[in-house]
Amino acid sequence: MEADTALRNDPSISGTIYWNLAAVLCETSDYQGAAAAFEKALIFHPQNEPNHYETRLSLGDCYLGTAAYAKARECYEKVVASAYSWDAEKLKACAGAAKVLYESGEYTQAASAFETLLSDCRNDDPNYYNLLLWIGGCYEGMGIKVKARDIYEKVVTAPCAWKADKVSAQEALMRLTSSGGSQVYH
């Protein structure tokens, strides 16, 4: 009984418990359950501390995973606008916002957002090729298949691209030569 009272009265412990629960739920792809746990964790992390924005970023990712695009965009915008969030979190939030645009079918705006992020990456960074993959998907979504093909070929031949990105790019190249299919990136 005393332990329960101590847990309820210590916000850092409660916030950590909800954060860990959310992380486990994310690992099992239960984004709805993870979002609920991250929402509870936010209660215990005030806006003037860095953990608040790490939690908000993760919450945005969960909303993206459940196709709650307006909520995801709101989370990402709050991370970018905060003076308390780290630069790395802001970059991740910008990437999340670009993915929201992509998933919403706003391919032109998404391509522009991904290209802005690409300008901050070196071409020996695997993230560079992940961003290229998303840009290729944007061009494919806009029906500009020649540009999409060129980008996918760059990803496939890049020595430092992640294996999963190379596989996605190869699948996209096969899709471009066939009559359809759908694109899915990570």
Lowest average pLDDT, out of 99-108, 135-144, 177-186, goes to: 177-186
Q: Which tokens go with 47?
A: 């806006």
Indicate the pTM of the whole model. Answer: 0.84
Q: Which pairs count as long-range contacts for 105-113, CB under 8 Å and 24+ apart, including other chains?
A: 105/141, 107/138, 107/139, 107/141, 107/142, 108/138, 108/142, 110/134, 110/138, 111/135, 111/138, 111/139, 111/142
Determine if residue 86 is left, alpha or beta; phi over 0 gives left, psi from -120 to 50 gives alpha, anything else beta.
beta
Q: Determine the pLDDT at residue 1.
A: 38
- Tell me the CA end-to-end span of the chain in Å, nearest whole number: 44
Query: In the structure, what pLDDT confidence band is assigned to residue 75 with cuts at 50, 70 and 90?
Result: very high
Q: Determine the pLDDT at residue 178.
A: 84
Domains in the chain: ranges and CATH: 1-104 (1.25.40.10), 106-186 (no CATH)
